Structure 1
């Protein structure tokens, strides 16, 4: 008989939702016992059962073992796990009283935040200061008379609840609509009254992504809201794609509450957080990466694409009629040429590039077009 599981406590937030998804994966695999999973995954029964307990954030190796034993896609589940881990941090910040100290941005993203801080300060020059419960003072334009109306898109209810509480604590802001999926957002955004001034869109969603919603709003809606993309991690592809879709800015989910409020006011006033310097850095890294791909041999590029399909060395070897050791050698050579320290980085990059090609999105052409746009603006 399958081992019984305790009911999930959904008040624990994203970690419980993630555990529910793991349990659903186990049911889809025929509800194997944890003893069977432990034999297949070479992990203890306790570790695997705790991964789906929904009490604490499980370690990725344990989750990966669980997923593989149930026949899931490790690449897809790693992205889910990363999103859950970051959303859980937000959840814990919301429910704990008093709130913990503000999280710090990653080292790789410090330059983005510094540039945004400088830009916000410059845009808000000459403004008046009003008291705020989320900081000593928050800037707002002196001629602001109307309430800034905000629309929220995030697949986690607790995240939306936290954002709503933060935004509606301000006397000059109000949340006028919400959605949990891209499909809901496309239906609700055009019908929302009063019309939102700013739409805060989560990039990663269960059905599509927030970038597609931004593109929909900016191309089909009259008086479309200004779009602020919210992401769990810095991603050059996301930066460039957001700009191409018409977004006016993007922020990490670990952004300080005060900075998020400043950003909303700035965008509502017609400003932007897509700093040209930050955008140029992203374009430069994309160009460097794409140039590196040109250095791959035909066979290396073939293996690179198959890795992007989520195939293992054994699966690629069978398809190409070579030994797994040969594939391992090629994979190591690709990692050296591309500067990847781990196979995981290589696979994730390959998957993203493969998806982009399938969607007929040419990153190099996009980078050149954006560069030309900013060159004209700078003249």
Structure 2
């Protein structure tokens, strides 16, 4: 079955362009378009998309508020990709807290756009290293880190969580920890289950809030 996508942006040309690019992919289907957050909330409930491309700055209701409402409505919960002009926008931390699964630059290539939808639809997070660095900076500015030992995780799972929080892929984590990629995938799955987290994006937020990783040049 095709991955169902809802495109949300207050600029009609952006919506039309993204929709055309996604509809050209055999495994993707744009089921709707919305011009503001309030309309996005209504269409998400009506259309039940798998993935939502969500702009942040929109009239009536912004993308952060819309994301919170959509995900609070309960299952089935779509994956939300925040659309941004710059990868270091100020809302990174707030968007992850709202439940976003990743970020996408508006000037991304068609291949990057399609790949982003597939990545989050599969349950992975779309977090570039620059985004995770900004997340650390934002969190350090918002509140001090009070370390909390994740007692339910094994030492190896904690190591993997630290790598996830740095924005590393399963393949990169496997190389750094000298593990098979499938083993890393199993560890990530166990981490999400034990901590009752939806995806890798939530794991990143948890890691910083729990003090598993702390702000600084190395984590």
TM-score category (smaller protein): 0.5 to 0.7
The Cα shift of 1:278 comes to 4.1
Rate the CA distance shift 1:213–1:374 in 2: closer, same or farther, 3 A.
farther
State the partner residue of 2:127.
Answer: 274
Per-residue CA deviation, residues 88-126 of structure 1 (Å, 9 max, x unaligned), is xxxxxxxxxxxxxxxxxxxxxxxxxxxxxxxxxxxxxxx
- Unaligned stretches of 5+ residues in structure 2: 144-203, 214-219
Structure-2 separation of matches of 1:269 and 1:255: 20
Show the counterpart of 1:230: 83
Aligned CA distance change for structure 1 residues 212 and 290 (closer, same or farther; 3 Å) = closer
1:285 aligns with 2:140: no
Q: Deviation at 1:259?
A: 0.8
* Aligned equivalent of 1:163: 18
Does the 8 A contact of 1:236 with 1:286 survive in 2? no
Residue 184 (structure 1) shift: 1.0
More helix, by proportion? 1
How many residue pairs get aligned? The number is: 153
Please identify the structure whose Cα radius of gyration is greater: 1
Q: Which residue of 1 aligns with 2:212?
A: 375
State the shift of 1:255 in Å.
Answer: 1.3
Q: Distance in 2 between matches of 1:169 and 1:243?
A: 29
- Give 5+ residue unaligned stretches, structure 1: 1-145, 292-366
CA contact (8 A) 2:93 2:138 kept: no
CA–CA separation in structure 2 for the residues paired with 1:375 and 1:222: 29
Instruction: Normalising by structure 1, report the TM-score.
Output: 0.37
Distance 2:102 2:211 in 1: 16
2:28 aligned residue (153, 173, 177): 173
From the superposition, tell whether residues 207 and 289 of structure 1 become closer, same or farther in structure 2 (CA, over 3 Å).
Answer: same
Greater relative contact order (Cα < 8 A, sep 6+): 2
Q: Match of 1:11? A: none
Deviation of residue 282 (structure 1)? 1.2
Q: CA deviation at 1:230?
A: 0.2
- 1:24-78 Cα deviation digits (max 9, x unpaired): xxxxxxxxxxxxxxxxxxxxxxxxxxxxxxxxxxxxxxxxxxxxxxxxxxxxxxx
Deviation of 1:215 (Å):
1.1
